[in-house]
Amino acid sequence: MRHLRLAAVALLVLPPAIVAAATPTWSTATATSVTAGVTSKSTFRIVAQVTLPQQCDMARIRTLAITSQLHRSFIVEQMPPGTICTQKAVYTCTVESPNFQLPIPHKFDVKTKGKTWSVPLSMESPHPMPPMCAKG
């Protein structure tokens, strides 16, 4: 009986540590294409076609590093859902960045899993192809 009480107390103490360890985190995503284009006089947007492990995963594009206003790099990331996913595995979708401020060099780097893309900035806004990834 005493062992059962100790086990019950241990369960009350352990779950927060287990939950913290199981919390999903952002990791670099695999991309099959990356494009970028000007969206206004002062902004541009990046669009990436990504392959996610599951349809429930989220994707995002964010600034990775800023060494000066002109020298920036970006990263495409994925994160699994906080709950078990019962939807389609190995899902290809498009992720679109928020608008980033200009100026930026004609070519800049976008890091993805296994590849760093040297992306030229188009004078036209990129057009994302459906389906869109869940945003994080």
Average pLDDT, the chain: 85
Query: What pLDDT does residue 87 have?
Result: 80
Please give the model's pTM, rounded to 2 decimal places.
0.79
Q: Is the pLDDT of residue 83 over 50?
A: yes
- How many folded domains does the chain comprise? 1
CA–CA dist 61, 77 (Å, integer) = 6
Tokens of 58: 């989220």
Query: What pLDDT does residue 46 have?
Result: 97
CA 105, distance to chain mean position in Å, is 23
Phi–psi pair at 128, nearest 5 degrees: -70, 145
Q: What is the largest CA-CA distance in the chain?
A: 73
Neighbours of 9 (CB within 10 A): 10
Kindly state whether residue 5 falls inside one of the protein's structural domains. Answer: no
Secondary structure class of 104 (helix, strand, coil): coil
Query: What pLDDT does residue 91 have?
Result: 92
Instruction: Please give the DSSP secondary-structure letter assigned to residue 56.
Output: T
Kindly state whether residue 9 falls inside one of the protein's structural domains. Answer: no
Kindly state whether residue 83 falls inside one of the protein's structural domains. Answer: yes
At 16-59, the pLDDT tens digits run 444 445 678 999 999 999 999 999 999 999 999 999 998 999 99
Kindly state whether residue 94 falls inside one of the protein's structural domains. Answer: yes
Kindly state whether residue 14 falls inside one of the protein's structural domains. Answer: no
- Give mean pLDDT, residues 57-85: 87
Kindly state whether residue 58 falls inside one of the protein's structural domains. Answer: yes
- Give mean pLDDT, residues 104-117: 94
Domain that holds residue 75: 25-135
Kindly state whether residue 19 falls inside one of the protein's structural domains. Answer: no
Kindly state whether residue 13 falls inside one of the protein's structural domains. Answer: no
Q: Please say whether the beta carbons of 31 and 49 come within 8 A.
A: yes
